[in-house]
Chains A and B, each alone.
Chain A
Amino acid sequence: MGRESHVDLSRTVIAMHDIVKKFGDFVANDGINLTVHKGEVHAILGENGAGKSTLMNVLYGLYHPTSGYIEVNGNKVSIDSPEKAIELGIGMVHQHFMLVQPFTVTENIILGMEPVKGLTVDLKSAREQVIELSGRYGLQVDPDAKIEDISVGMQQRVEILKVLYRGADILILDEPTASLTPQEIGELIEIIGHLTRDGKSVILITHKLKEIKASADYCTIIRQGKYIQTVNVAEVNEDQLAAMMVGRDVTFKVDKKEQEPGEDALVVKNLHGKDYRNVEILKGLDITVRKGEIVGLAGVDGNGQTELVEIITGLRKGTEGSVMIHGKEVFGKTPREIFEAGITSIPADRQKHGLVLQFSVADNLILQNFGEEEFSSHGILKRDAIQKKATELIEKFDIRPRGSEGKPAGQLSGGNQQKVIIAREITNDSELLIAVNPTRGLDVGAIEYVHKYLVEQRNKGKAVLLVSFELDEIMSLSDEIKVIFDGKIVGSVPGRDANENELGLMMAGGGAHE
């Protein structure tokens, strides 16, 4: 898919010179340069904690640089507040949306700068303006829909509209694809194209290499707070970008030894279940995972993956069917009983199911095991042992920052939160592992680690069910790929024979074959 570039190299809109930002003794940005032109999509690439967000917060006026200066449209400026940034035409779309749920799209967009007619808010002209903006950039947003009724992808467009409504010419998008489906990501990239065609510049904070290749003109790489280099995206490939980001060569290929799968570890038969709205979403699903294989479950979000995993792990009650783990029926059992039957899982929603954000990292690491002899006796927690375990796992799984044993998990970055969960689940070491989007929000180095680990588990003869919205991940890891559509398995392909088009077709509900 070729993309059209709209860069006007003669017009520099942003120039950040030698930006240094210190927090106490910690140097978050150490001499970073960034130049963005009119009509350009400029990606900022770096691992979790590399200093991308700090740099953008400096540009958006949330932080003041310790040294260095910023030019906007050729004029040296001091951006000391977001208001000032907005005045200068800089807008930011945060990773976590800031929308009022019961308000309509229009009401959210105009919030804080409502057009006034006499004493009342002029909703009518605001609505027309929203429709006009939405049409101009191909956003297709319904101005009257309530935020609580629209999808995450749509909410993000509302955030983009909010920024455009405030007259921004430079848009900062912070990890914009983190919570989007593949389709929505494609659409977002198209929207970014519309924006640059109209002369807007877009700064994209991300660690997804594929998206940089698909949407950006230039890419600035930051590693551990330091400026590495700025490259023309057309002239580098993904492997080179990854190596620059991590500082060493990264292999996406994982060595899988040839092996025959063993006995059945998980057998799901004729499973029926309802979703949170009480609508039947699983309609007689069958799936089997054997020891020594990775079964990848591919599908578009919302076809029953979440409910399937929740029913298997006991978080949700199924209406009918059978779930056997290591030959034992667990359908309808409690999460505790199922856990004890020999299953661990990496949950899809790390903040909802994976972690108690107010708990320290150490306490989160023993969420299923606090009752075991290693960590408590007669109901009294062994604080020293818990602390020791945490230190060990933080080291082993490279959870950053170091020494965060006693820190609330909520204070870690998303990627490091995920590492806490993975560290815990891996340590539980059961014969059957269910991983749901295990690499969501992780950077390349961590992804490599998780992938290696999953394959390692398989090689050790354990059963792995991998549920993921990242088709690449499913294709590179799975021995067997199952496609879920509308609550049923509609196709099954051996991993090595899979091709993206065929899978994509099945995921959309066409070409079902067994």
Chain B
Amino acid sequence: MKNTKTKKLLALILALVMLVGSALPVFAEEAKDDAGTNVSLQELSGEYVLIPYESYKSKYNYSTDLRTGEEVTVAATDYITDEEYTTAEIEKDTLDGVDCIVTGETGSVSWKINVPKAGLYCVRFVYRSVTDKTTDIERVFKLNGKAPYQEARYQSLHKTWSFEYLSENGEREGAFDLDITENELRPASKLNHVWTEHSIKDNDGYYTIPLEFYMEEGENIITLEAVRDSVAISEVGIYTYEELPKYEDVRAEYEKKGYKPAKADTITFEAELPDLVSQYTIYPVYDRSSPLTSPQDAAKIMRNTIGADKWIANGQWIRYSFKCEESGLYQIGIRFMQDTLKGMYTSRSIKINGEFPFEEAKNCQFPYKNEFQYDYLNDGDTYFEFYFEKGKTYEIELEVALGSFADIIRQVDGVITSLNEDYMRILELTGATADEYRDYGFTRVMPEVIQDLGLQSTVLYQLVDYIEDIGGIKSETTSTLEQAAVLVERMASDETEIAANLSSLKSWVSSLGTWLSDMSAQFLEMDYIEIVPAGTEPKAAEGGFWKSAWFEIKKFAASFVTDYDSFAVEGDKDEVLLQVWTSSGRDQAQIIKNLIDNGFTAETGTKVQLSLTAGGALLPSILADVGPDVSIDATNPIEMAIRGAILPLNDYDTFDEVMARFADSATIPLSLYGTTYAVPVGQSCAVLFCRDDILTELGLEVPETWDELMSMVPVLQFNNMEIGMTQDYNVFLYQQGGNYWKNEGMATNLDDYKSLDAFEYMCNLFTQYSLPISYDAQNRFKTGEMPILISDYGLYNSLTIFAPEIAGLWSFYQIPGTLNEETGEVDHTVMSAISGIIMPKGCKNMEEGWDFIDWYSDKEFQVDFSNEMMALLGPSAKQAVANIEALAELPWSESEYKTLQTCLRATAAVEQYPGSYYIGRYTGFAFAAAYNEGADPSDSLLEYIDSINKELSRKRKEFELMLNEDWMAISEYMGFETFGEWREYWAEERDTTPDCVECIQDVAGADYTYVDWMEENGVSAENFKNWQNAVKYGETELSYKEWLKK
């Protein structure tokens, strides 16, 4: 009995963890304060568990009677100075004539509020942005030291952006800049620092009114804790929420006042020219599908619409202003496109002069159609009429809202959480591959789970009915819910169905997750807005078949002469100085171009032409001497460097300064024999992804060493789970302090006992524990089959997008390490992949090129670029930057950042030498032999050593580098143990730098190289062999040197 109680409690806690996690991405941040290494998952589960709003409401017997009508405002400057409440560094300031405080990116600030009467209050504060960052300001809200419930905790504060139009008086004609092919460019965004009022609200938009809190009479403390960006705050207050009037009441009011439809002309304004927008990512886009979109051109890109997929997240708004010539009633008509939410509508809430005119304005509907539509603002039933006065300026704001869907989405969110929890409970008993013929006795073991399944299916059925009711049709939108409901119902009613349908349950939960994010994305693309006198019928939005056909014909004809792919270049072509190539996407290139114009060109005056080229174009272009000055994405620079195709960078005076920005390992694969050929841009490494929820349930901890990881295998396998293991054997080699190469790339070191040990260790992991070799990492991690997974940290991005239903249930850690038995320390070395920026041979502006590389790899650019990418593509666009300072500035949570930092500090990279590719290939062969045929790993690896070394020598011969045979002779002759001694000897003898090339390469044009040295001393690989043979057969006992003299 007690056991089930604890289980229930655990289940509840878990459920809450999941809930909190999915609602609040930043949640993990505080819970794990240190790199995740020493945090106990068991401890974690109990912390920061917040109840949902619904539970909060019932806890305080929520009712509108509790609203008091009171209001209190406190000046922000009167914050509590006590360090217990205020930890942030605070600066008092006066901005735009308003006294305020400015808080930074860390710490919290609190205010004391004297509540006159116990009851429900909303919390508001007035803020203003202070930095120029493109992302939103983020804060955590706390009431009396604790976030009262999940929805209230995380607050995202929009900034206010405007555009710089080139035309006067906001005329459409000539508003945007043109590129060389006369396509309209995205206008420059300008951040406006304005005072804005914010009420604590639900960030996901599940609740359409501001959140309310129950406050006792007397002193209450309101705290804002910094998550991201600085902010200025001028006042803080509480107020009582007042219900908005209904439209019919407003209508009745109109009639009472005798308002009549206005007798005026229609006012039309282009939607692509808003006054203000809430985010940097909302900007004029273009539609080329409809001939009636205004303006439209068959050949050129006209920025003729706004919104689309950039205006879909809750809370994003766009504002316009207008004046009417006559007082009277008007309707607001919009030509729009909503072609994503099939059979449904998307919603916007409308504010006039900053206020909702009536309750229904929160839910203006835009139904689905796969072409443009024209309609007046309505809530699905009635067209809204607004009273506008003559000559007065009105501001209209359209904000993304979930409208009447908020409730549905919230409920589905709840269903997902519950089903996830039920699934995990069932999984506990059956394992991932449940045996459908076995009687697990679910009703006996976990009756509450079965009950819950029944409950959830009922909820889903009700939702389906409700949606069909409002949508009026059965669409594919409801079918997901319905099918999930059918399945869950079947599982709930017949327990023999549970095991057989377990995997489908998981995939349906996943589908529900996708459904949720699809539904929350409120797509709307607007062409123009009209203020039309009331009492008219909406006009047609499309021009009919012939008009479209003619437009298509024109477009087709224009396609022969228009170059749609040429990338925007500013100014005169002759003026362009620096040629920079990138093979990234168009969006990336556009961002880079903007940053170049505003950063590099503005600072240095050097103009840059950025070109988008295909990845393979670089080599041929260098060959034909038409290559760029700088190439941003270069793969395998050493292969090019050894053939003299890219320029060394060491000699620039700021070289050391630039290189100090990166981890030491980052330069290794970009350098050859002491010369660096590329500057690191991206560096990523493997991390350990863990499903915290599953590990907690199984009572496991995040493994510290490989041995610990392996000790978890039985527990996981007992529960039919697996480990996604790395097949990168270098990790084991480097963690044991081994090395890949002998004598700086002359031969492989894989025949060393350490290497063989490492290789054998890795092979045994796979053969003895039968770990899977090939698997779909994302999927198995998502379903929980593979709760532990080692993968590149780029998977983080995929998981945030691909697996929304497990958001907050997983985190990543440093990969397990190898225990050094002597020192007792754990070596967490991890291999990293590095990309770089290069200057190819034939670069015409080397100084400028280097300045560009310097600028490009610097923190400022890397951070801006990453932020802009995220602004454009969402959180999945986090870049794996190599610049360590830049990494700190990216919006990773504190704990994630710390983990990454520790990982990057422990990174290693394999040196690249001619013939490198051969080693990976043969270790792969050896691994295949060990795994497939059960061959002895060491034996099979040793078999290939000769082939590898032969190939290395062959390649070295091609580049006239010292061969291993030569080195053997030289080292024997000189009595050197390591190659370093030879370098030192050479540097001393020849009076050159220790990185001397001549001691390793037979450089053309050099007056004295190692080959000359060998000749001079009579040393050669051949006579060395002869000597060896002579020693072998006992013909001589002389040393090589003496033998040669003879």
Is B one of A's binding partners?
no
- Chain A interface residues (CB < 8 Å from chain B): none
- Chain B interface residues (CB < 8 Å from chain A): none
